[in-house]
Amino acid sequence: NAGVMQNPRHLVRRRGQEARLRCSPMKGHSHVYWYRQLPEEGLKFMVYLQKENIIDESGMPKERFSAEFPKEGPSILRIQQVVRGDSAAYFCASLDSGRSTDTQYFGPGTRLTVL
């Protein structure tokens, strides 16, 4: 039973390019959360998605960032026109039912470096 998968594990982009981060939740999980971790800090919530729906995007910057979780395939976090301040580790987590009493399982993260 594979855990949460994220790819790529490391991503280097130049300023102005686009970054696409992928997250495949655990088998059977239909709820995905994205978090961002800046160096030496804790994780900050970005967005919560269910299949084909964005449920809570209160932590997502209004510009340049978007997320989706299609009916088939992984969840995608997309950052357009990246800037140096986007350099961070991006983690996704999944859970089965969306109940707040359930444990979220985290992926290994994608470390984005913007040159």
Decide whether 15 or 44 has the Cβ nearer to another protein: 44
- DSSP of 77-102, one letter per residue? EEE-S--GGG-EEEEEEEESS--TTS
Residue of the chain from 21, 23, 67, 95 that contacts another protein (CB under 8 A): 95
Q: Establish if 18 lies at the interface with another protein (CB under 8 A).
A: no
The site for another protein, by CB under 8 A, has a size of 28
Beta bridge partners of 19: 79
Among 11-19, 22-30, 69-77, 101-109, which window interacts with another protein (CB under 8 A)? 101-109
Q: Establish if 69 lies at the interface with another protein (CB under 8 A).
A: no
The C-alpha atoms of residue 5 and residue 109 are separated, in whole angstroms, by 8
The C-alpha atoms of residue 88 and residue 14 are separated, in whole angstroms, by 14
Residue of the chain from 33, 65, 69, 90 that contacts another protein (CB under 8 A): 33
Q: Which residues bind another protein (CB under 8 A)?
A: 31, 33, 35, 41-45, 48, 55-56, 59, 91, 93, 95, 98-109, 111
